[in-house]
Structure 1
Amino acid sequence: MDYIVFVLVSTLEWIALLSIPVVLLGYYYRKYFTTIIILAFIMSVLSMLFRMTSLQVAMIIGIQILILLFLVKLFFRANFIQAFVIMSMGYGFYNFVQMLIIEMVVQALEFQYVQIYFTLPITTTIQLTTAFLMYGLCYCVYYFKLELTELRYLIEDRLISKKYKNILIFICTLMSIFIVLINFVFLTQNFAFKFFTIIVTLILTFVILLTYVILHSQFQVKRLIEAKKFYLDQDQQVATIVKKLSDDYKLHFKAIAKLCESNTTHLIKKYVDENQLEKRASTGGLDTGLRSGIDRLDEMLYALIINKRKLASLLNVSIEVNTEVKDDVRTTLLEVRNLSIILDDLILMLYRLPESQEKSIYFNIKITKQEIIYEISSPFDIREDQSAELQLFDALLRFKKNHVIVQSKLNPVHIRIHFPPIKKAWFDV
């Protein structure tokens, strides 16, 4: 009976420990719920088996950390950095909260640290209190939208820089050492400066946990700066197009002036018709409808659509955007740059078409936590002899190199860019 109670309580603990990093990093919790329960049960059974041995508790915890790291990597199908961050964040948060509770009990009831560990009712109460506090923390993170999504994008990035990889490995390793250290000090009798050591270790653990928030904030700021820079670069592009249009019109006016000087005014109407000058777009009303239908997009996509609509408006091309955004998922600068190249090519090709042809681009965006789909279509054909001068094929190739599913048709233009669901965790239902 005692073993059943131990496994049940321990399973609740491990569920809480694994839930906090999944929720805090902004993962789709329902996707991992079954896997978390199975992992928690495995770890609780292993914990019970380890307690039957003569190993010291600090050594058992060290072994558990290594096993949990392996199991998270295996069951969550995560890369090493993801698994290390999830393990250290979960274990670190749980250990920090539990040690705070233990310290309050020790100071309030004047118990010895070792006495708490070997007094079953007190141990069980502390375990359950910690677990339910963690569940409450998970709910608060979800309810108030406090997820560290930028940190998640960092650890998911296959091209993460060596600098940040080393920082994360150092933080996670330090966290693991402190977890083992605080439990070693906690259960060692006659340890000099025990209270002081525990308090210092708790403070350092809190600082390490705070480092995750700092990294998230840094990348959030970096993302905003990149979005602003991208927006300004696109504005510069629009300004360049405006100057080119202005220069073109000056040449047209000079040509018309020469026709007038040579007394061939009857050719002016023919010249205007051939060059479609009376139908070219003006810059008047440029801001009309720029922001329609894109309110829920993130900063990068928002800047992209605004600037491409400005450019398209100058060239008498329309961009119709249809969005289906169900979750707060961020796009990367690389994605947006490739989309920008594709849209630029299509806008310029439509500009060169006769005025009798429809000059519209239809851009459908679907964003969920499971997948992202971009569909770009336009009712014109791209000829084979035109493909050599287009950069959109290079952009599509870059998408493919990043394991994105790309489907494209040229007659008429229809491009589908599908970021498939992330690999499912084992036992996901």
Structure 2
Amino acid sequence: MSQTVNVIGAGLAGCEAAWSLARYGINVRLYEMKPEKYSPAHKYSGFAELVCSNSLKASRLESSAGLLKTEMEMLGSLTVPCAKANSVEAGGALAVDRERFSDSVTEAIKNEPLIEVVEGEVKELPEGMCIIATGPLTSGAMADRIKELCGEGLSFYDAAAPIVTYESLDKEKVFFASRYDRGDADYINCPMDKEEYQAFYKALIGAERVELKDFETHPFSVYEGCMPIEVLASRGEDTMRFGPMKPVGITDQRTGRRPYAVVQLRRENKEATLFNLVGFQTNLKFGEQKRVFSMIPGLENAEFMRYGVMHRNTFINSPTLLNSDFSMREHKDIWFAGQITGVEGYMESAASGIIAGTAAARRILGLEPLCLPNDTMLGALSAYISDPFNDGKFQPMGANMGILPDIGVRIKDKKERYGAYARRAVESLEKELKRIGYDKSDR
């Protein structure tokens, strides 16, 4: 094809958009400002960098995250197979060695002859068809262009958890186990008794936090899925015990009893030399993180390879701006993709790139558009971000079974119920792909 589509941003969404276009035989110009310039949260030069957790959530089909990834693979995803090829043990979750995952995606994109990578910051929208996948930390000049297109954005704050080395942990105090013994014993558990927990809680809520920068506003709102641990703790002494420190499903191997609270660590790389503190996103000062988190049993002498950070995320008001294929209502040749649209999560962002890239490609080729059924996870997310009903109350949304239409049959067992939702979704998507004559093996 002689027509070229511009994709701005080589994150998860941008890479999937470019990949989808190329698979349809469309030329792509993929812009990425790294390594010339980095956002406050990005550190690695590769594409599809994971800046928070290294977990892509559950793998099983009868989960919302597993269903989403299955649907993405049905549409020829790049990131899902790259994730599977670079996975690390994490029980029932798909977690990855983040650098190897990034390298794998980068190599695939750079080796695709139909994708031209252009390095450097984009300050003006290129002429022609364009997919904007600049992410929730869009740089200043492009952010100004987006505001001109969309008006003021929506903001909330996101946070990343610390990473420690395995060799620095006290093996006499920690043990490997998965909650409810599901899957392999891939998580390191740091059990606490009541006295230890209360001392930790008091230190945490009294710890000094990083002052927000001048580009950050007060008061700030925090997305519940990435709540800084100190903000969660401030809601009450037992709040953490019903959240990331819940002891349910864990038996302390030293006592044979359930601990009062537990901190879990998840593998960060294939070599299992690095582990992150699950649910411990934070905005504490680095010295305070060292002081307070070293109170966790087993972490007294922990070596912190990365401290937690917090940063601002910005979203457009998608319900007033976008169609369900992520194209703009007022500018038909412009699509958005990724977290900037209000989809929340790594795979959700990647999925939006697939949808936008597929929509653009099929329009160029004059093919029947892909109409994602609302009973699929992809379709439900697309409907959510484009539903005018959400205007004025729009909040980020990740994949979850609650956004799917009722299945119409009462199934008490949750696993069986979710399995029924998943089977319906797969069958529905297969039917739609058959209707439009889609065969990913032809791409």
TM-score by length of 1: 0.25
Structure with higher Rg: it is 1
Q: Which structure ranks higher in relative contact order (CA pairs < 8 Å, sequence separation ≥ 6)?
A: 2
Structure with bigger strand share is 2
TM-score by length of 2: 0.24
